[in-house]
Chains A and B, each alone.
Chain A
Amino acid sequence: GASEVAATGSDLITVGYSQVGAESDWRTANTESFKSTFVEANGYKLIFDDAQQKQENQIKAIRNFIQQDVDYIVVAPVVETGWDTVLTEAKAAGIPVILSDRMMKLSDDSLYLAWVGGNFLKEGQDGVSWLNDYVKKAGRENEDLNIILLQGTIGSSAQVGRTQGITEGLAKNPRYKLLAKQTGEFTQAKGQEVMESMLKAYSDIDVVFAENDNMAFGAIDAIKAVGKVPGKDIIIISFDAVHEAFNKMIAGELNCAVECNPLHGPRVAEIIQILEAGGKVEKIMYVDEGVFDTSNAKEVLPTRKY
């Protein structure tokens, strides 16, 4: 249906963006990226809606976008499921839907036009391959490594994808022993609390995977509290690579941060431009993501946008 789009009335393209919330730095960076991309100067009018982490609010927002008769609906879904009803309504109104960040599980794939986001599974795998390289470099290949995994909020796609990537990657190497995995709910305080109890339960931990930076920060404190040196005695790998993670890497407390790029706005704008020009777009589009560690943190930090 993209070809149906008729340029009527004002020449601004209205885009309704339903954002999850502002639960993390990553999320605010993502919001910023949309807000700075879809400005009038670029020919857009952005209708932004914040769902406060509630799916029902996003459903309400999409209905509202249809009423406001926007040209495009962009959704960063809170959860993957439960979108059929409202997206059917959007389809009936002829409004194209683009997904950002998380994927939706839909009964009918024609309900959305394209998806833009990071690849959580790949991030997990990247984390493990960094560990492989690191171990090789450090010459600890023949050592058994005891590993702890601090998971994100169970059920979130970041958690599901990263956990899968990490556990599958670890399983390939018999020297890696995954001692335990426990959720730290993506927060620093919980991450610290869980790490404390892990340190009590297991005396010999070599590696900690934290599925986001904040939990890694908590883990670092817990490790310091028992008198060990994070980054040396225990290798710490985290995900997202927010600003503070670079500071920690520079300080040597965090070994590696796998990027999860929040700057989806330009990517979505690209898609819309193609559609406006009457072109076809790919359904799935990943954003570029890198892996940073103590070796390059210092150079990269000044270039970071979030």
Chain B
Amino acid sequence: MQKQLISSPLVVSLKAATKKQLFLPIFALCLMLLINVLITPSFFKISIQNGVLYGYTIDIINRGSELIILAVGMTLVVASSGGADISVGAVSALAGAVCVRLLGASYDSYATPMLLAILAALVAGLACGSFNGFLVAKLKIQPMVATLILFTAGRGIAQLISAREINGNMVPGQILYVRMESFRRIGGFFPNVVIPTPVFIAVLFVLITYFVLTKTAIGLYIKTVGINRKAGRLVGINSVLVMFFCYTFCGVSSGLAGVIASSRIYSSDANNIGLYMELDAILSVALGGNSLGGGKFSLIGSVIGALTIQALSTSLYAVGVTADQIPVYKAIVVILIVAIQSEEFKRWWSLIRLHRQAKKAVAV
């Protein structure tokens, strides 16, 4: 045994392990895309129209950007605390509202410089995230319950922020519009760039997160805290801080998603930005092969999960399933994917195979 261990190079086994976890999510995504091609032959067709890339696949990646960003944040939250942050959708709406309100509705200038407004939105997300983090990490309130507070309040605050002057008084609950073209570039295209900006942002965000997780020990800390908080404390990890970090990070990612979403519609729609996104984000994490019980996680898995979900929605739209009925198909596909990924299914599968082999052997 000793020999075996020395002879098996670590790197190889590491790669094998990650491959194993990612194999099924990737497989599911590919299957999803394959079905799409069968239904819509032009699915993979990408053309350049009006100076930008155009096609179903581009739509999926573009529309999926916010989901990817949210899924990344959600992954860390789930890994460190074994619970989900259900406030991400509402926080996105809130951050979007902050950004739009600061930018103002003028046709020829911003009320606040754009970068500053975006920064403010991210700070708003960060504040919400740290509020959640404080409740979960410090006060030890169960994640879903703690985040339920902002889940309810977030849109209320967003509406409060979305105030506009009507006949002399500020009336909240309005949809505010940004009239400056340059703001739309965040959710659209930069001049002479063929790739949608959200895709850039999402890729950059994933890369930075990945970099942080692999170049510092935070990834290891998160896993440790997610698996055994007490043990983590005794080996010198401040679990409160780690969880706090994860929730705050998730808040920032919600803020970023909110900025993109509001830039797409260049307005602050407190009611609809990020609506039900928390569910999709949690689903992405699960479809990526991650356990919702916390502990080990794969960031890339979640990204693939997010793409799978977006591909699913886009293709259901493409087939012409009505919006109300989409959930039925979504449910079935999701259950199939997670069932195939489950340990138990693998066990059954191998049992069946063994059985067959045994039968064959008898027959021979």
Is there any pair of Cβ atoms, one from A and one from B, under 8 angstroms apart in the complex?
yes
Instruction: Check: A182 CB closer than 8 A to any chain B CB.
Output: yes
User: Are B269 and A189 in contact, with the CB atoms below 8 A?
Assistant: yes
Are B264 and A22 in contact, CB atoms less than 8 angstroms apart? Answer: no
Q: Does A204 contact B (CB under 8 A)?
A: no
Measured in the bound complex, the distance between the Cα atoms of B165 and A306 in whole Å is 10
Within 8 Å of chain A (Cβ to Cβ): is B22?
no
Chain A residues whose C-beta falls within 8 Å of the C-beta of B261 in the assembled complex = 189
Contacts of A217 in B (CB 8 A): 265, 267
CB pair B265–A192 under 8 Å, yes or no, is yes
In the bound complex, residues from chain B placing their C-beta under 8 Å from that of A24 are: 175, 271
A residues 196-213 in Cβ contact with B at 8 Å: 196-197, 200
Q: How many B residues touch A, CB cutoff 8 Å?
A: 32
B188 CB contacts on chain A under 8 angstroms: 225
Residues B317 and A192 in contact, CB atoms below 8 Å apart: no
- With both chains docked as a complex, state the minimum distance between the C-beta of B234 and any C-beta of chain A, in angstroms: 46
Q: Is the CB of A22 within 8 A of B159?
A: yes
Q: A183-B323, A305-B166 are in contact. Are A193 and B175 (CB under 8 A)?
A: no
Q: Does A277 contact B (CB under 8 A)?
A: no
Q: Is the CB of B265 within 8 A of A185?
A: no
Query: For the complex, what is the distance from the CA of A242 to the CA of B59, rounded to whole Å?
Result: 30
Residues of A within 8 A of B317 (CB): 193-194, 197
Q: Is the CB of A154 within 8 A of B324?
A: yes
State which residues 13-68 of A face B: CB under 8 Å: 22-25, 27-28, 31-32
Number of A-B contacts (CB under 8 A): 74
List residues of chain B with CB within 8 A of the CB of A182. Answer: 320, 322-323
Report yes or no: B50 in contact with A225, Cβ–Cβ below 8 A: yes
Chain B residues contacting A6 (CB-CB under 8 Å) are none
Instruction: State whether B265 touches A218 (Cβ < 8 A).
Output: yes
User: With a CB–CB cut-off of 8 A, which chain A residues contact B171?
Assistant: 28, 32
How far, in angstroms, from A305 to B174 measured CA to CA in the complex? 13
- Which A residues are CB-close (under 8 A) to B179? 247
Cross-interface CB contact of A244 among B167, B175, B272, B322, cutoff 8 Å = B175
Residue B101 CB within 8 A of the other chain: no
- CA A189 to CA B188, docked complex, whole Å: 13
> A23 touches which one: B50, B166, B172, B271 (CB < 8 A)?
B271
Q: What separation, in Å, do the CA atoms of A260 and B272 have in the docked complex?
A: 21
Q: Which residues of A contact B63 (CB under 8 A)?
A: 193
Q: How many Å lie between the Cα of A305 and that of B322 in the bound state?
A: 36
- Asked whether any CB of chain B lies closer than 8 Å to the CB of A187, the reply is yes
Interface contact A214-B175, CB-CB below 8 Å: yes
B249-274 interface (Cβ within 8 A of A)? 261, 264-265, 267, 269, 271-273
Residues 152-169 of A contacting B (Cβ, < 8 Å): 154
Q: How far is the CA of A182 from the CA of B273 in the complex (A)?
A: 20
| Residues of B contacting A154 in the complex (Cβ-Cβ under 8 angstroms) | 322-324
Interchain nearest-CB distance for A92 vs B (Å): 34
Q: Which of B315-349 contact A (CB under 8 A)?
A: 317-318, 320, 322-324
Chain A CB within 10 Å — which of B159, B171, B175, B271 has the most?
A: B175
Q: Write out the residue numbers on chain B whose beta carbons fall within 8 Å of the beta carbon of A197.
A: 317-318
**Residues of chain A having any CB pair with chain B under 8 Å:** 22-25, 27-28, 31-32, 154, 182-183, 185, 187-190, 192-194, 196-197, 200, 214, 217-218, 221, 225-227, 242, 244, 247, 305-306
22 chain-A/chain-B pairs, Cβ below 8 angstroms: A22-B159, A23-B271, A28-B174, A154-B322, A154-B323, A154-B324, A182-B322, A188-B265, A188-B267, A188-B272, A189-B269, A189-B273, A190-B323, A196-B59, A214-B269, A217-B265, A217-B267, A218-B265, A221-B265, A225-B188, A242-B175, A305-B166
Rank and list the top 7 A-B pairs by shortest CB-CB distance, nearest first: A227-B50, A28-B173, A187-B272, A188-B265, A22-B173, A23-B271, A183-B323
